[in-house]
Chains A and B, each alone.
Chain A
Amino acid sequence: MDRRKFLLSTLALAASGCSDPRSHRNAVYMLVDTSGTYAREANKALLIVNYLLGTLEPGDSLAVARVKSRSFTEKDIIAKATFDARPSQANAQKRAFRDKIDAAFKTVLGSAYTDITGGLIQGAEFLNEGSAGTKTIIIFSDMQEELDKVTVRNFPISLKNIRIIAVNVVKLSTDNVDPRRYLGRLEEWRVRVQKAGASEWLVVNDLDHLDRILRRG
């Protein structure tokens, strides 16, 4: 906090006695793809979770869930927490959260199919239940959705006011043969989430630029 902010706060204190009604809390729902060969990328997902734990502030929420053959279920949520408003308690919660994630990621089992849409619907539900000012769903996946024959996901979904960030979207071997498949896949997802009312669509492949994931409300 700089000197200007100090003066600003002095003026704000003098000018108003009421608090800002908008919520400044961040809520992040992270989907981790554990299907097929992508399960090997779990270590990178751990890096992102650690980054989020280090960056999220007291009062923010975080949930980490698996993407499996059918992901529209609370059972796939590995860990979730709304950090306490007190920094010391929030730090303790973050430690417990990290331990839980560490333990869960040690025994990652690959799934036959990838239900990203189900995960998104579940994530949107989780985020809309809270009162966070900024809601973000991070999809740690190659964005290749594969559904079994009985699972139905081809209907319009609602992601209103939710930011969707696709992280570590690796190229498949078929993408190398024809890059249009990769680009087409990303474009398809962009159109779909924007049609669903998402406030932002972002792809972050370089894990050195994770700061783009979070945006303060």
Chain B
Amino acid sequence: MSSQSWMLWPDNVAASVLLLALLAMGFMYAARRPTHELLRSLGHMLGGPLRVASRWLSAAAVEINNRNKAVLLAHGRAEVGQRIEREFERLGAIVTRDLQGYPTLQRKLLDGITKIEEDYKKCGEVPPSPPDWTEAVAAIANVKSTGNELVLRVLEEIKRSVNTIHDKAIGEYRKSYETRHKILEGFMPFWRSVDKNLAQVEKNLAGLQSSVKSVDAHMAKYEQINAGTDKAQHALTVSAFTQFAIALVVMAIAAGGAFINFKLIALPMSEMVGAGDYITSSLRTSEVAALVIIFVEASMGLFLLEAMRVTHLFPRIASLNEVLRRRMLWVAFTLLVTLAGVEAALALMRDMLIADKQALLQSLSTVQAVATDGWVGRIPTAGQMLLGFILPFALSFIAIPLESLIHSARTVGGVLLTALVRTLALVLRVTGQALRQASRVLIRLYDVAIVVPLLAERIVKGSRRSGRRRGAEIGIDDAERTHA
């Protein structure tokens, strides 16, 4: 078939194109109504289900959100409740520890105060008043000296007696003050004791006050959670995200530790299970065995922390009675210590195997290496053994971030799922709307393609309408004339 076969006049392309365009236009004009219906139906057919799906997803997102909220609030309630319980326990401990000594303290304070009062009273005692003869002395002192020897002698005798008495009175007065100073000096230990006791009371009350404030804050949070406010939900969500991120970082660090642990024991495990067996094309059985040991260690650590009630991943363990729980704790701890010991031995074996292999390779090579003996050469061995022993215990603490990760993953996953569902709903809604609009655009484009026949149709319709109007006007004129 040649490329010019469609041409009606092979010599005249323009005429052929024009004729074909006219024919196509005619056909399209004839098929205008069904085509419009088809495009409209297509728009509805594609856009409708998408819209329905979008609505369904939106409703699902709301439901997921509600469920997330319920779970989040329940979790938050339990968590804050536990914290409040712990705060009350602390408060109880403070009250028991500090306030149970208050009667004794009070008695001490009262004794101290009574003693101080008594001493104070003693301090208040004034020295004895000067004797009555002072008035006689004053009268004699008024006697005028006339130079009489007798009088002078009497006066001198009186002076001497007065001086003696004065000295005696001064001495007594000083003695009395000295006694009172001694009493005041005796005050000091009581004052100090009272001061110390009061400071202790103040400190205890301050501690109690801060604990009460903390309880108040937790209670406020608890009330908000109980009321199911958006603020509480937001705070709990943020907290869950933070926990998730922190737990993830800690888990990544723990994975690094597990990797080092794996490196330490993978080679020596081949000495136990053989080096020639493979699980997959590149994975030896010895490597898997090493991995199993690490997982067993992590599990033992998990059970240990669970039995210690640090984590609460297994309700069955939490509900064990005290005796069984203690037994489990000791079993897990013993197994962990044993595994740590095995790992230390394996780390030593690893070093020996590597050294043996090196020795073999050196004996096979032409150049012999100089052996390095001494304590420096033993540092890596000791380090490996130490690491082999410590890492299982360090890995056992994975249980804490793991619990955190599991708990927060529910919230984080829920929020992400809600966001995903909402995004999907939006995308479906936009797509549905776009398809509907596209069908409308196609209808317009269709009309643009057959603009010439449409124009002709409009002109014809217009002339018919004007003819009809004219006819009607003529009819009216005739009627008017007839009427007239």
Q: What is the interface of chain A, defined by CB distance below 8 A to chain B?
A: 1, 3, 5-6, 8-10, 12-13, 16, 19-20, 22, 24-25, 50-51, 53-54, 57-60, 85-88, 90-91, 94-95, 98
Contacts and interface: CB of A to CB of B under 8 A. Distances in A.
6 contacts: A8-B280, A13-B292, A19-B278, A86-B274, A87-B267, A87-B356
A5 B287 CA distance: 10
B369 to A, nearest CB: 14
A12 B365 CA distance: 38
B270 A5 contact: no
Given A50-B364, A54-B361, A85 B274 contact: yes
B360 interface: yes
Nearest to B259: A6
Contacts of B263: 1
B283 to A, nearest CB: 5
B280 A20 contact: yes
Nearest to A85: B274
B274 A58 contact: yes
Given A13-B292, A58-B270, A88 B353 contact: yes
A85 B275 contact: yes
A20 B283 CA distance: 9
Contacts of B259: 3, 6
B274 A59 contact: yes
Contact of B266 (A1, A13, A16, A57): A1
Contact of B288 (A12, A22, A25): A12
Nearest to B365: A50
Given A88-B352, A91-B360, A95-B363, 14 more contacts: A8-B282, A9-B287, A9-B288, A12-B279, A12-B283, A20-B278, A20-B280, A24-B281, A51-B364, A53-B364, A54-B364, A86-B274, A88-B356, A98-B364
B68 interface: no
Given A86-B270, A98-B364, A12 B280 contact: yes
A13 B291 contact: yes
B281 A22 contact: yes
Contact of B276 (A10, A12, A25, A91): A25
B34 to A, nearest CB: 58
Most interface-central of B263, B266, B274, B278 (chain A CB within 10 A): B278
B262 interface: yes
Contacts of B223: none
Nearest to A217: B281
A8 B283 contact: yes
A91 B356 contact: yes
A24 B365 contact: no
Nearest to B285: A19
A95 B280 CA distance: 30
A25 B274 CA distance: 12
Q: Main SS of chain A's interface residues?
A: helix
Contact of A86 (B266, B275, B360): B275
Contact of A20 (B266, B275, B281): B281
Nearest to A2: B259
B277 interface: yes
A9 B283 contact: yes
A85 B291 contact: no
B17 to A, nearest CB: 63
Given A6-B259, A24-B281, A54 B360 contact: yes
A10 B291 contact: yes
Contacts of A60: 276
A60 B361 CA distance: 17
Nearest to A59: B276
B256 to A, nearest CB: 9
Contacts of B352: 88
Interface string B281-325: 111010110011000000000000000000000000000000000
Contacts of A94: 360
A58 B270 CA distance: 9
Nearest 6 CB-CB pairings of A with B: A59-B276, A85-B274, A58-B275, A50-B364, A20-B278, A24-B278
A12 B280 CA distance: 8
B365 A87 contact: no
A10 B288 CA distance: 8
A91 B292 CA distance: 26
Contacts of A50: 364-365
B271 interface: yes
Contact of B271 (A16, A24, A25, A86): A86
A57 B360 contact: no
Contacts of A57: 275-276
A16 B278 CA distance: 12
Interface in B348-405: 352-353, 356-357, 360-361, 363-365
A87 B271 contact: yes
A202 B270 CA distance: 33
A57 B99 CA distance: 74
Contacts of A87: 267, 270-271, 275, 353, 356-357
Contacts of A3: 259
B323 to A, nearest CB: 35
Contacts of A5: 282-283
B297 to A, nearest CB: 14
B324 to A, nearest CB: 30
Contacts of A25: 276
A88 B291 CA distance: 21
A50 to B, nearest CB: 4
A19 B277 contact: yes
Most interface-central of B270, B285, B357, B364 (chain A CB within 10 A): B364
A98 B274 CA distance: 23
Nearest to B270: A87
A46 to B, nearest CB: 10
